[in-house]
């Protein structure tokens, strides 16, 4: 982390700039100051969310007005984006302060507000410079959140630092070149995380994958010189009481060329980030341990590199998944569902209370929901609702999509139990999820298609160009408030038979 965030009861004496959150209408949050409306109008500042305006102060320091948006719509996400805007605007200074006095706590506690502001500032300040010959010079080193509720705010800051560490890990992994981050190297990094965070660790190599019958993962990886891996991490809280088990599953394609169904060059450019789901699972496990959440969590990361080598799976091949079901591979570029099928079969065998998978799975989900929203599907309404609530609080938007039984004909195969492609141009995100549902049995299961929000095309808000770490904050929020579901799926919505 480039910035140290602290809570202070007064503005530090060496602060070079003071941030003042302002609602639309130019009303400062603390209600004790006045804003020069004429100067704001002249310079186009309205208080809209994410706007900022640097003004000189009479004592020689600077004041930075930061927009919070409409007062009746301010939530935790608004505070994240406000703090991110302040951190970006003051990045050339060393010590700055953000005024939190008078912040309303009707919708969130002081701790939650401090967590959101810390997340926004630190995530906006993230930089990936591992391969730069000269790193950027350090600038902003200290951000003070000024408040009278220092104890409660400090708890939020501490929690945010853990979460941002996990998100930054995921961003780092997603941004690394595929030549550096192979399946084996990912497994080594996961082992290091496990050692530091007190997690149990297992990794299956290609020989052990064959012994376990994980031929979906093997089928995807057999065209590459870099052999596949299945990484398993487990977090168990230090508690004598019975706690529910949740299994997280992540797609980990460290590079996706499309295999023999080769992608075009433009589509291949960012395929080093096709392991973002597995990275998010790794980051979430690290955060679970560091936050001592009261929920047992297993993370399964299915790692492979999809390449068109001499041994590559060919269109028309049939792969047998661990649970015995077979998939006809008609397009080797629909590989994520093949590795997930094996991993979900393993997850179901753990007899968990619930399963959640994350994957940069389908282009159609981007067509449907754009680059900022993840598709949310599953077989249990309670689980889908809980993840939706967690995503809203975390500031990682999701949107539920149906899984209608009547769409299963799209993945029917003439020679196998199913095929790995649906009907061209029709419900691609849904038919991919319907295939995944075949491997979870009756266990409550939810699928997050993060193809859009897993990476950002620009620096915006608290996102930086490249990997975003999407999913970590949602999973931590979800697991921290997890309520057992009983291990049996129940769904009333989205099951209509279509004709």
Active site residue 296: no
* Closest C-alpha among 302, 136, 131 to residue 217: 302
Instruction: Report in angstroms the alpha-carbon separations of 340 from 308, 356, 437, 439.
Output: 20, 11, 10, 9
* Closest C-alpha among 484, 482, 456, 454 to residue 470: 454
Q: 283 with 478: CB under 8 angstroms?
A: no
Q: 469 with 275: CB under 8 angstroms?
A: no
Q: How do beta strands 4-8 and 200-204 pair?
A: unpaired
392 contacts: CB under 8 Å, gap ≥ 6:
none
Instruction: Report in angstroms the alpha-carbon separations of 247 from 211, 220, 269, 338, 357.
Output: 22, 23, 31, 18, 8
* Closest C-alpha among 421, 437, 276, 434 to residue 345: 437
* Closest C-alpha among 253, 237, 249, 233 to residue 191: 233
Q: 295 with 288: CB under 8 angstroms?
A: yes
* Closest C-alpha among 105, 115, 100 to residue 9: 100
N-to-C CA span, the chain: 54
Instruction: Report in angstroms the alpha-carbon separations of 31 from 71, 100, 102.
Output: 13, 11, 7
Q: In 245-295, which ranges are E strands?
A: 245-256
Cα separation, 123 vs 361, whole angstroms = 25
- Which of these is catalytic: 176, 272, 322, 337? 337
Structure tokens at 363: 């282009």
Instruction: Report in angstroms the alpha-carbon separations of 65 from 9, 21, 23, 26, 38.
Output: 20, 6, 10, 9, 14
Cα separation, 169 vs 166, whole angstroms = 5
User: What are the beta bridge partners of residue 418?
Assistant: 327
Q: Please calculate the CA angle 385-391-393 and round it to the nearest 5 degrees.
A: 105
- Which of these is catalytic: 27, 191, 263, 389? 263
**Helix and strand totals (H; E) in the chain:** 14, 20
Active site residue 382: no
Cα separation, 199 vs 195, whole angstroms = 6
Q: 237 with 243: CB under 8 angstroms?
A: yes
List, by residue number, the catalytic residues: 263, 337
């Amino acid at each position: 982390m480039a910035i140290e965030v602290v809570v202070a009861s007064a503005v530090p004496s060496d602060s070079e700039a003071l941030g003042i959150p302002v609602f639309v209408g130019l009303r400062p949050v603390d209600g004790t100051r006045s804003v020069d409306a004429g100067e704001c109008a002249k310079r186009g500042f309205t208080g809209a969310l994410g706007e900022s305006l640097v003004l000189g102060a009479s004592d020689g320091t600077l004041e930075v007005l930061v927009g919070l948006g409409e007062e009746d719509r301010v939530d935790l996400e608004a505070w994240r984006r406000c703090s991110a805007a302040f951190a970006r605007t003051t990045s050339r200074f060393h010590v700055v302060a953000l005024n939190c006095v008078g912040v309303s706590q009707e919708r969130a506690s002081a701790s939650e507000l401090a967590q959101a502001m810390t997340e926004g500032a630190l995530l906006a300040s993230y930089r990936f410079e591992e391969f730069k010959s000269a790193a950027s010079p350090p600038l902003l080193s200290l951000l003070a959140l000024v408040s009278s509720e220092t104890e409660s705010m400090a708890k939020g800051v501490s929690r945010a630092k853990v979460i941002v560490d996990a998100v930054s890990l995921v961003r780092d992994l997603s941004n690394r070149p595929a030549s550096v981050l192979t399946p084996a190297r990912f497994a080594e990094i996961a082992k290091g995380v496990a050692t530091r965070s007190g997690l149990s660790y297992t990794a299956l190599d290609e020989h052990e994958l064959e012994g376990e019958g994980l031929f979906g993962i093997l089928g995807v990886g057999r065209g590459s010189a870099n052999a596949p891996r299945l990484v398993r991490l487990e977090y168990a809280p230090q508690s004598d009481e019975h706690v529910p088990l949740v299994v997280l599953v992540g797609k980990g394609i460290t590079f996706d060329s499309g295999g023999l169904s080769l992608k075009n060059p433009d589509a291949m450019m960012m395929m080093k980030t096709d392991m973002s789901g597995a990275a998010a699972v790794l980051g979430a496990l690290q955060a679970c341990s560091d936050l001592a959440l009261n929920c047992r969590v297993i993370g399964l990361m299915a790692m492979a590199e999809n390449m068109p080598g001499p041994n590559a799976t060919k269109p028309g091949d049939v792969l047998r998944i661990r649970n015995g079901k077979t998939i006809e591979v008609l397009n080797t570029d629909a590989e994520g569902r093949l590795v997930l099928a094996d991993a979900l079969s393993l997850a179901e065998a753990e007899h968990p209370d619930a399963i959640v998978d994350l994957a940069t799975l389908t282009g159609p989900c981007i067509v449907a929901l754009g680059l900022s929203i993840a598709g949310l599907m599953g077989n249990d309404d309670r689980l889908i609702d809980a993840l939706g609530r967690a995503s809203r609080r975390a500031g990682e938007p999701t949107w539920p999509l149906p899984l209608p039984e009547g769409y299963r004909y799209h993945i029917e195969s003439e020679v196998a139990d199913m095929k790995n492609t649906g009907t061209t141009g029709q419900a691609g995100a849904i038919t991919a999820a319907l295939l995944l549902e075949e491997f979870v049995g009756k266990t409550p299961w939810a699928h997050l298609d993060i193809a859009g929000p897993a990476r950002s095309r620009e620096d915006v808000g608290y996102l930086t160009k490249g990997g975003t770490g999407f999913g970590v904050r949602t999973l931590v929020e979800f697991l921290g408030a997890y309520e057992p579901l009983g291990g049996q799926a129940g769904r009333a919505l989205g099951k209509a038979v279509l004709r």
